[in-house]
Amino acid sequence: MKKVNVVVVGASGAVGQEILNILSERNFPIENLKLCATSRSAGTEIDFQGRKYRVEETTPDSFTGMDIALVAGGKASVEFREAAFARGCIIIDNSSNFRMDPEVPLVVPEVNPEDVKGHKGIIANPNCSTIIMVVALKPIYDAAGIKRVVVSTYQAVSGAGKEGIEELTAQTKAVLEGSEYPPNKFAYPIAFNLIPHIDVFQEMDYTKEEWKMVKETQKILHDSEIKITATTVRVPVYRSHSESINIETKQKLTVEKVKEILSQAPGMIVQDDVQNKNYPMPLFTSGRDEVFVGRIREDNTIEKGLNLWVVGDQIRKGAATNAVQIAELLLQYNCLMEKR
């Protein structure tokens, strides 16, 4: 396979580091690798496949000679979009900046891989909770159609980056020692608590995180008619988001059929043998690239109802893995840009 030049922007953060792990694990065909970050992190050194790389401050020239920029988050995709485009470098953007831009494909490779072909220099990686949900919804959507989804999330602190992880650890220790660790990254203490508030509040008193799950799912499925209502909650778990998903399908599906469909779906693992206490849990799905589904039940309060419990590592499949999979699609479909 042809090797390409890759720049990782935001390489020192939680998602950036995971992107590097995944590029390495998947043997992504890299010719030259460049690591960039904001001036605050520039100068640090990061190991990749046994070689040390110095993190540079991101500038327009960071994209010169590069084929693909994997942007971990933040404002970099806005700041450097034109610079990257002018140099023929495609941005795969993990931030929310361009997700709802009708010109920008929003891609989950298991769901809408072909959408990468329409890119105009930038492809957006969806929100982590959206990715995890839509991987589970797609096979059901294809088999029976989906009318409505009611989802409640249980989201890990690493969704808020390294600082979220550190705050949970330090605060939990403080509680156990009887001392204080005031909240900083989160609005309230997260140790032994739940916070029903992720990202800012928007219209109808839903949070931005909740609206992302609605609007991004509609865009990824190319279906503005699918109805989704979400409640998103931060929980004191380090890693992997969990989701309780209630689905009303258009055609009736038996539980057996749903299990069969999901077992055969790409990127999914069915863990559903309740007599042997087999169901997905965030502690055991972390570090994995698949989305796990269990507690698959008929919801007999409606004619065509289902309940699922879905868990996935939101830093891997919910962010880094999905971004690297998009990069793989770019090579597979041969739709890189001309370097300029």
Residues annotated as part of the active site: 128, 241
Q: In the range 255-294, which residues lie near a copy of itself by CB under 8 A?
A: 255, 272, 274-275, 277, 279-283, 294
Shortest Cβ distance from residue 280 to a copy of itself (Å)?
8
Q: Is 224 in the site for a copy of itself (CB under 8 A)?
A: no
Cα(338)–Cα(333) distance, integer angstroms = 15
**Given CA atoms 66, 71, 77, 80 in this order, what sign does their dihedral have?**
negative
**Looking at 250-333, which runs of residues are DSSP E strands?**
268-270, 291-299, 305-312
- Joined tokens for residue 210: 């909740």
In the block, tokens 């030049």 appear at 5
Contact call for residue 192 and a copy of itself (CB under 8 A): yes
- Name the residue type at position 172: T
Residues 6+ positions from 326 with CB-CB distance below 8 Å: 92, 107, 109, 116, 123, 125
Q: Report if residue 189 touches a copy of itself, rule: CB under 8 A.
A: yes
Instruction: Please indicate if the annotation marks 171 as binding a ligand.
Output: no
Taking the CA atoms of the chain, what radius of gyration do you get in angstroms?
20
Backbone angles phi, psi at 129, to 5 degrees: -65, -35
Cα separation, 162 vs 196, whole angstroms: 20
Contact pattern for a copy of itself over residues 91 through 130, marking x by CB under 8 A: ----------------------------------------
Q: Does 172 bind a copy of itself (CB under 8 A)?
A: yes
The piece of 45-53, 67-75, 300-308, 320-328 that touches a copy of itself (CB under 8 A) is 300-308
Copy the structure tokens of residue 70.
Answer: 């994997």
Binding segment toward a copy of itself, per CB under 8 A, in 51-59, 103-111, 119-127, 304-312? 304-312
Q: Is 99 annotated as a binding residue?
A: yes
295 interacts with a copy of itself by CB under 8 A:
yes
Determine the Cα–Cα distance for residues 178 and 301; give it in Å rounded to an integer.
46
CB 292 to a copy of itself: min, Å: 11
Residues forming contacts to a copy of itself in the complex (CB under 8 A) are 148, 150, 152, 154, 168-169, 172-173, 176, 187-189, 192-197, 201, 204-206, 227-229, 231, 233, 235-238, 242, 244, 246, 255, 272, 274-275, 277, 279-283, 294-302, 305, 307, 309
